[in-house]
Amino acid sequence: MSNTPQRVPDTKERILDAAEKLFGQNGFTATSLRDITAEAGVNLAAVNYHFQTKESLFEAAIARRMEPVNRRRIELLDAAGANPTLEQILLAFLSPLFVRHPNEAIGLMSQILATPDSFVRQLFKKHLAGVVNRFVEALQQALPNLTRTEILWRLHFTAGSMAHLMARGSVLPEISEGLCNPSDRPAVLARLVTFAAAGFRADAWGGDAGLGGEAA
C-alpha cells in the first residue's frame, strides 16, 4: 500500500507539476517561486529543500518531460525500420510532442526556445544533440539529394514551426476568426507533417535561384 498505482502526488511531484504549468505559461523569470508554491499548495521552503535553486527546479521540470519525448522519438524511428519514409521520420520526430499531459508540458518545452540565457541553451543541447544527430542521419538516407547542411536548415525550420505551434497556437483561433482549431491535435500534426515534408522535398537552393535580394 505504499506505492499503489493511484497514489496522491507527494510534495516534490506537486512542485514539479506547478512549476511545469506556470513556467510553461509565463516563462522562467516571470514566474516566482511563490507563484509555484501557491499553485502547488505547499510551503515556500519546500522548493528549496527539494530542488535547492529556482534554476535547478526549471531544469528538473524540463528533464521530466523531455526524456520520455526523446525516448519515444527514437522508439518510433526504430519501429519504422531500416528505410523509413520522410513522413515516418517527421512523425517520429513530431508526434511525441503532441501527446496531452496533465499540465500541458508542451508549453514548458516551448519556453526553452524562448529563454535566451546560456544555461537553458546548454540544457537544450544536452537533451537534444544526440536525438538530432540520429534524425539527421535518417533524413539524409531518405533524401540523398540534400546535403547535410540543407537538412539541418530544414530541420531548424520544421522545429520552428513546431515551437511556434506550441508557444502561440492558442492565438490561432483568434487571428483566424475561428477557422484554425489547434485543439484537434491529429489534424494539426498531419498538417504540419504535410507542410514540412513538402519543404524537405523542395529542390535544394544552389547558391542563387533568382531570390537574391528582394522581390520585384
Partner DNA sequence: GTCTATAGGTTGATAGAC
Partner DNA sequence: GTCTATCAACCTATAGAC
Name the site residues for DNA (rule: CB under 7 A): 10-12, 31-35, 42-46, 48-50, 52-55
Contact partner at residue 46 from a copy of itself, DNA, none, CB < 5 to 8 Å by partner kind? DNA
Q: Which stretch binds a copy of itself (CB under 8 A): 7-15, 45-53, 63-71, 73-81?
A: 73-81
Asked whether 104 and 21 are in contact (CB, 8 A), the reply is yes
**Residue span 90-129 as binding mask against a copy of itself, x where in contact by CB under 8 A, dash where not:** -xx--x---------------x-xxxxx---x--xx--xx
- 82 touches a copy of itself by CB under 8 A: no
Stretch binding a copy of itself (CB under 8 A), from 8-16, 41-49, 58-66, 179-187: 179-187
Pick one of a copy of itself, DNA, none as the site partner of residue 122 (Cβ within 5 to 8 A by kind).
none
Interface with a copy of itself by CB under 8 A: which range of 12-20, 47-55, 58-66, 80-88?
80-88
Binding pattern for the stretch 38-67 against a copy of itself, x by CB under 8 A and - elsewhere: ------------------------------
- Rounded to whole angstroms, the Cα distance separating 196 from 139 reads 12
Reported for 152-161, long-range contacts at CB under 8 A and 24+ positions apart, including other chains, are 154/196, 154/199, 154/200, 157/196, 157/199, 158/90, 158/93, 158/94, 158/196, 158/199, 158/200, 161/192, 161/195, 161/196
Cβ neighbourhood burial of 200 (10 Å; 0-12, 13-18, 19+): buried
Q: Rounded to the nearest whole angstrom, what is the least distance from the CB of residue 79 to a copy of itself in the complex?
A: 4
C-alpha span between 13 and 94 (Å, rounded): 27
Distance of closest approach, residue 3 Cβ to a copy of itself, in angstroms: 29
Q: How far is the CB of 152 from a copy of itself (least distance, A)?
A: 5
The CA distance from 97 to 166, in Å, is 9
- Compute how many other C-beta atoms are within 10 angstroms of the C-beta atom of residue 95: 18
In the block, residue with C-alpha cell 540520429: 134
